[in-house]
Each structure stands twice: as C-alpha cells, then as structure tokens.
Chains A and B, each alone.
Chain A
Amino acid sequence: MLNTLCKKMFGRSLWVYHANSGGCNGCDIEVLNVLTPYYDVERFGIKLVGSPRHADVMLCQGPALRSTAKALQRAYEAMPAPKLVFAIGSCACGGGVWFDSYAVIGPVEKIIPVNYYIPGCPPRPEAIIYGVAVALGLVEKKVAPVQFKSLELPIPRYHPSDLRGSGEMVVYEKMDKV
C-alpha cells in the first residue's frame, strides 16, 4: 500500500537535474526562465537539484557530442529508478543544425533513452511547461503526424511506352482511355 502511494507521489514532486551536453546554452536560459517567478514551475513541485542521485528527471539539452557522450551516460546511470529523460530543444531531439558535424554523434537518444521531447530553438518557457504538463498527464499532446496523399492523379499521364511512331508522327495509343 505504501508502494502505490509512493508511486502516485512520483508525479507530484519531480526533482530535476539539468545536463547540458554541448549545446549553445539557449535552451539552458529558457530552462532557467522556467524556474523564475514569472513562469514558476515550482508550483508543480518541481525542484532543481545539483546531483543526479537526487533527481527523477534529467533535462538534456544540446546534442550528444563525442567528448561528452560518456559523461552523459554516466549521469543517466547515476539516477535512481524510476526516472524520466526530457530532451529539450531541437539539438537534443534530433541533433539540430550540427547533426553532421565531426564532433556530434547525434541526438541525445543515441546515448540514453528519451521519454519526452520538447522541440524548439529554443523552446519558449511555456513550451517547456507544456511538455512537462504532457508528461504529468495534465494536458493532451497537440501534435500528430500529418500525411497527405493524392488520392487520384489529377491529369492524364502519358507514358513513353504508349507512344507509337517516331519523329513528327508520334501518336498516343491509349487515346480513348484518357
């Protein structure tokens, strides 16, 4: 019974560890903004801690670099279960504009498993709070994959294999089927 109570309390008090593995610090500043009085995320019970052993959530920012990959993995393994990882910013979600650089391995999920993504460059503090609210189950997520397919091809097509004749007198054979 105590176990279920503790599991339920997990969402009410998340302790956050901020790990920047090589980003430009833009998302750092936005994360810091989230902790200021204007956007105050402490009303959800979220607190910034200085050690990964105390933390439940790791906020990853910046792409995974070849030099910091090992450190990021060690910080992830130092966190006690149950744990979540948030990838903040387009560098952590997909590598950013540096995805093919010599120093960058790629997005953070090539090193550690990521639970929630908050894309943006940098994401607004409201966007970060929205992502946290989606993780806590307070709101529904607003994005879904969009796919557009032409159901029928709009104008008749002419294939070279249906052409007869050569030079001036090229005739389309399937005229009646068009």
Chain B
Amino acid sequence: MSSSLISAVCGGVMNVIVVLAVAPLCQGVLRKVTARIQSRQGPPLWQPYFDLLKLLGKEDIESGVSPAMQRFTVYLSLAAVLTVACFVPMGFGAPMDGAGDVYLLIYLLTLCGVCTLLAGLAAGSTYSLIGISREMMSMIALEPLFAVALVVGAMHVGSFRLNAVLNGSVYASSGISWSGLIMLGVIVLSFQAFVQRVPFDISEAETELMEGPLMEYSGPKLALFKYAQMSKLVIYSALFVALFVPWGSGLWYPLGWVLFWAKVFVLVLLVTVVAATHARYRIDQAIRYFAGLLAVAFLALILASYGY
C-alpha cells in the first residue's frame, strides 16, 4: 500500500516537473510560429524562459484592493493547474488515478478559471472588473463543454474512474460512436477558448482592456500567473490527446511517450495557426458561438445516454 502511494506521489511530482519544463517551450513554439506566419523572424524558442526569469527578478509592487488576496490567488491558480497535471496520463498511466474521479477533474478545471476571476477581483481596478465580468460570462458557456465530453466518455465506459475515462472512452460505444464524434468536433471548435488564445482570449485582451485581470500584478506574481497560463496549454492538450486521440499510448516506453508528445506538439501547432490567422471575437459573438456548441453538446449527451 505504502509503496504504491510513494510511487503515485513520485509519478505525480514527475508529471508536474515535466509540465513545468515543457510549458514555456510550447509557448515559445507558439510565438515563433506566429511570427513566421506573419513573415518575420520572431523571438528565439527559449524566450518565455527568459521572460519568466526576468519577471522573477523584478520588484513586487503591492497594489490593488487587497494584496493578501492577490498573493493567495496567484498560488492557487498555479497549484490548481499543476494538480490537474497529476491526473493526466502523459505517455504512461496517470500517476494519481486512484485519488479522484471525473468530478474532481471537472472541479479542478473550473477552479483554474475561477482563479482568474479571483485575481481580477483582488486587483479591483476598473479594467480588471470589466475583464472578469467578461470572463465570467464566457466561463458559464464554456466550462460545461469539457465537462460534457468527460461525462459522455464516462457514460460509454460505465464508470467514472479516470483511468477508464481518459483512455479514448468517447469512442467506446457499440458500433460507430456518434456522440464521440460530435464531442470531438465540439471540443476541437472550442479548444482555443480553453487555452485562452485568440479568437477567444477576451478577458486578457491586450489592446482593449490593458490585460484585464492581470493588470495590477507585477514581478514574481505575474511570472507565476504567466506560468499557469502556459501550463494550461500543455494540460488541456494532454487531456484532449488522452480523451480523443489515445491510440498508440499503450506502446512500450519510450515509443508511447514520444508519440504522446508528438501529438501534443501537433495540437499546439494547430492552436498557433488558428490564433495567428483569426481576429478576436466580441463577447456577445463568443457567447452566441458557445451557446450553439453547448446545444450540440447536449445533443451528444442525449445520444450517449441512449448508447449511441
């Protein structure tokens, strides 16, 4: 019992370290490919590492309505994102499978979004409040989409355990899995919003809102927030791969591990290409878009409950 606990904890720590190491690299790839699409040279691939190190060395100005709450939300957001990393299989099985089920995952994913709201509230300036009101509106329409995908997978497999669900379970019904394919389409169409990229980065719109909820954070707090955002890209990609594109992850080490990171890389490239060629949506356009997707997702849920 204790050895499995120790191995689970070590596996979780390994996952966290891997996510922390790879997240700025994915962001660097994103910036570089965006620059190449815009016909310019772009920053070096290691640029986000330099950015984070520089931010850690700056002075920390405590401003905003409640600085203690600001500190709390910074740590909470990074902690929530890294906790999700412990539940996601990254080429191997997920290290902490037995510690929670699908509901815990949904809760943690929503917590990552709520941390942005808390951050903006703790700052308390006008731009932050506008940013978090828009983030709240889009979260209401957005978070159920991933939850429905996980629940559809759980319904097909018949259990809420993570090691069963995060294994391509959406395709597990008898015959062609219509609900699985519908959910694949829905999540692909709304993936940009989960990782907070154009066209759906409404709350952190630089040109409109002076970076919204993050406006009052400087120095190390900003570094941790940016780290949390970068890690979200990796974690959502990993979840997507585990849920919808799991083929090949059962291969023996290191082939399965390499295949997993190749799939994540392809997903990051897709996110980049879409982000570089689109304009940002207005909040009402985004809500209408998500509402349509939500209706389709509920259709998929109904189909799944009938076994299709």
* Chain A residues within 8 Å of B, Cβ to Cβ: 2-3, 5-7, 9-10, 12-13, 15, 36-38, 40, 42-45, 47-51, 53-54, 56, 78, 80-82
Contacts and interface: CB of A to CB of B under 8 A. Distances in A.
B61 A13 contact: no
A42 B43 contact: yes
21 contacts: A3-B57, A6-B58, A13-B47, A37-B38, A38-B40, A45-B47, A45-B50, A47-B51, A49-B206, A49-B211, A50-B211, A50-B215, A51-B216, A53-B215, A53-B216, A54-B211, A54-B214, A54-B217, A54-B218, A80-B59, A81-B59
B58 A82 contact: yes
Contacts of B58: 6, 56, 80-82
A144 B156 CA distance: 77
Interface in B30-65: 31, 35, 38-44, 47, 50-51, 53-54, 56-61, 63
Given A2-B56, A54-B218, A80-B219, A40 B50 contact: no
Given A49-B206, A49-B211, A82-B58, A9 B222 contact: no
Contacts of A38: 40
B218 A6 contact: no
Interface of B: 31, 35, 38-44, 47, 50-51, 53-54, 56-61, 63, 206-207, 209-211, 214-219, 222
Contacts of A51: 210-211, 214-216
A2 B220 CA distance: 13
B43 A6 contact: no
A163 to B, nearest CB: 71
A38 to B, nearest CB: 8
Nearest to B57: A6
A98 to B, nearest CB: 29
Contact of B43 (A7, A9, A43, A80): A43
Given A49-B211, A50-B207, A53-B63, A6 B56 contact: yes
B39 A53 contact: no
A122 B43 CA distance: 26
A40 B40 contact: yes
B174 to A, nearest CB: 52
A82 B58 CA distance: 6
Nearest to B49: A9
Given A49-B206, A53-B215, A40 B53 contact: no
Contact of A6 (B38, B54, B209, B210): B54
Contacts of B38: 37
B40 A6 contact: no
B42 A43 contact: yes
Q: What are the nearest 4 A-B pairs in CB distance? A: A6-B57, A37-B40, A50-B210, A80-B59
A15 B210 CA distance: 14
A9 B61 contact: no
A110 to B, nearest CB: 24
Contacts of B61: 53, 78, 80
A45 B51 CA distance: 8
Contacts of B211: 49-51, 54
A125 B62 CA distance: 36
